[in-house]
């Protein structure tokens, strides 16, 4: 049962009984935003940068006539440009995640219905307890238990998307389960029973459970588990029982939630800008002190001096005036240039012919444009196999 920490009871191909338990939907969502949250959330994200906060303050101060000797447009327009480029870039990245999710959720699979008939359903509609037909080269839409295979007792899968291993792994039907899978050349069969398994967890290499068919019990282990994200290889088809769906699958439990990334260069830039800001405030305060001293001097010849007779409020306003006049200590052109360069870098990376795969007819894909400069910081690459970094090509020759 889902609410039990020790076991999970699943009835084979019985939606009515399985619906009593709060099993997760097989709908996948990896996007960071929705249509409603995109604009406010992405804008809030931009103000994690000290520079954007600084230029927002500058833009507000320039809009106050009593303080600003400058046109407000000189502060507002560059800031709007920077924010627009950043938000659009963020939107494009999240839209790519959305398209990937939609492709996975709308993939079609055949579900075993009553009397050995199959019905095509979308991946997002798959439920715990369903028995699915998966064909060769298809990606498993959920975590399955192998029940029947075109090869008899065995099936082969590739788990490169999970652990990076491209060698095929063998999976087998439960021990002594042969009488329920004969004849092997027919895909239509009917099973009545239940599966008792461990609760969802992150372990890719272990699994415990049992299949109960009538009075018979069959032990289950990782050799019967077909993980979501892996592919069926060298096997025409298999039939599998869905045990974990959606966020309960091993793949999703091991996947990190989409998060905001900052490069080392950007983090260092934040510290530098903060230091310059503190220096600018100190300079403005010093100038106000000098002005106060000059106004306090009893000099009969200072009638020409406009600042004579300033009040405390005037000194505060002058502080912000000096702050605006010195705002070029942190040039907004720096931020504009960084944003434009990041976009151009992504375009050049995708256009790079040296990273074009002729076999797959695919270009390099940039998943995140916020950490391009991290590529230039890589000094060492650790690998357990040479084939991970190079390319192993083996040609079979038969006499």
Residue 363 sits at the vertex; the CA angle it makes with 360 and 367, to the nearest 5 degrees, is 115
**pLDDT cut 70: percent of the chain above it:** 87
Quote the strand ranges of 102-254, DSSP E. 108-112, 118-122, 131-135, 143-149, 154-158, 169-172, 194-197, 209-213, 216-220, 225-226, 231-233, 237-244
Instruction: Give residue-wise pLDDT tens across range 293-311.
Output: 777 765 555 555 555 555 6
Q: What is the C-alpha to C-alpha distance for residues 399 and 394, in angstroms, rounded to an integer?
A: 16
Say if CB 364 and CB 347 are below 8 A apart. no
**Exposure class string for 129-153: b at 16+ Cβ within 10 A, else e:** bbbbbbeeebbbbbbbbbbbbbbeb
Residues classed as catalytic = 384
Say if CB 148 and CB 155 are below 8 A apart. no
Q: What is the C-alpha to C-alpha distance for residues 399 and 393, in angstroms, rounded to an integer?
A: 20
Question: What is the total residue count of the chain?
Answer: 399
At 1 the pLDDT is 40
Say if CB 225 and CB 240 are below 8 A apart. no
The yes-or-no verdict on residue 189 having pLDDT over 50 is yes
**Against a cut of 0.85, is the pTM above it?**
no
Q: Tell me the average pLDDT across 267-272.
A: 84
Q: Which domains does the chain have, with CATH numbers?
A: 8-26+126-254 (2.70.150.10), 38-102+262-338 (no CATH)
**DSSP-derived secondary structure for 37-54:** THHHHHHHHHTTSHHHHH
Instruction: Give residue-wise pLDDT tens across range 81-122.
Output: 888 888 888 888 888 889 988 999 999 999 887 666 788 999
Say if CB 145 and CB 207 are below 8 A apart. no
Say if CB 10 and CB 195 are below 8 A apart. yes
At 266 the pLDDT is 80
At 144 the pLDDT is 93
């Amino acid at each position: 049962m889902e609410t039990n920490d020790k076991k999970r009871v699943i009835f084979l191909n019985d939606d009515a009984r399985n619906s009593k338990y709060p099993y997760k939907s097989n709908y996948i969502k990896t996007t960071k935003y929705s249509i409603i949250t995109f604009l406010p959330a992405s804008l809030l994200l931009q103000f994690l940068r000290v520079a954007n906060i600084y230029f927002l303050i500058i833009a507000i101060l320039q809009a106050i006539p009593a303080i600003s000797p400058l046109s407000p447009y000189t502060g507002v327009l560059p800031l709007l440009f920077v924010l627009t480029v950043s938000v659009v870039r963020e939107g494009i990245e999240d839209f790519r995640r959305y398209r990937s999710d939609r492709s996975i959720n709308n993939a079609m699979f055949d579900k075993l219905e009553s009397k050995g008939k199959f019905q095509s359903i979308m991946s997002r509609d798959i439920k715990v307890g369903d028995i699915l037909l998966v064909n060769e080269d298809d990606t498993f839409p959920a975590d399955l238990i192998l029940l029947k295979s075109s090869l008899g007792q065995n099936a082969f899968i590739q788990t490169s998307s999970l652990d990076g291993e491209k060698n095929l792994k063998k999976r087998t039907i439960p021990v002594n389960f042969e009488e329920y899978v004969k004849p092997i050349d027919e895909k239509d069969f009917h099973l009545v029973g239940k599966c008792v398994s461990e609760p969802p967890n992150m372990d890719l290499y272990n699994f415990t459970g049992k299949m109960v068919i009538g009075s018979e019990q069959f032990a289950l282990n990782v050799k019967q588990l077909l993980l979501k994200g892996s592919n069926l290889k060298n096997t025409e088809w298999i039939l599998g029982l869905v045990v974990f769906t959606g966020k309960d699958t091993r793949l999703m439990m091991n996947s990190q939630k989409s998060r905001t990334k900052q490069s080392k260069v950007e983090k260092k830039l934040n510290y530098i800008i903060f230091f310059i800001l503190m220096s600018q405030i100190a300079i403005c305060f010093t100038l106000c002190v000098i002005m106060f001293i000059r106004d306090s001097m009893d000099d009969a010849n200072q009638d020409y001096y406009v600042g004579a007779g300033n009040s405390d409020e005037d000194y505060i306003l002058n502080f912000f005036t000096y702050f605006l006049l010195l705002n070029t200590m942190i040039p907004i052109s720096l931020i504009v240039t960084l944003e434009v360069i990041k976009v151009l870098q992504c375009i050049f990376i995708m256009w790079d012919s040296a990273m074009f795969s002729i076999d797959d007819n695919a270009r390099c894909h940039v998943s995140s444009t916020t950490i391009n400069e991290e590529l230039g910081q890589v000094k060492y690459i650790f690998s357990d196999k040479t084939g991970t970094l190079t390319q192993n090509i083996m040609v079979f020759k038969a006499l």
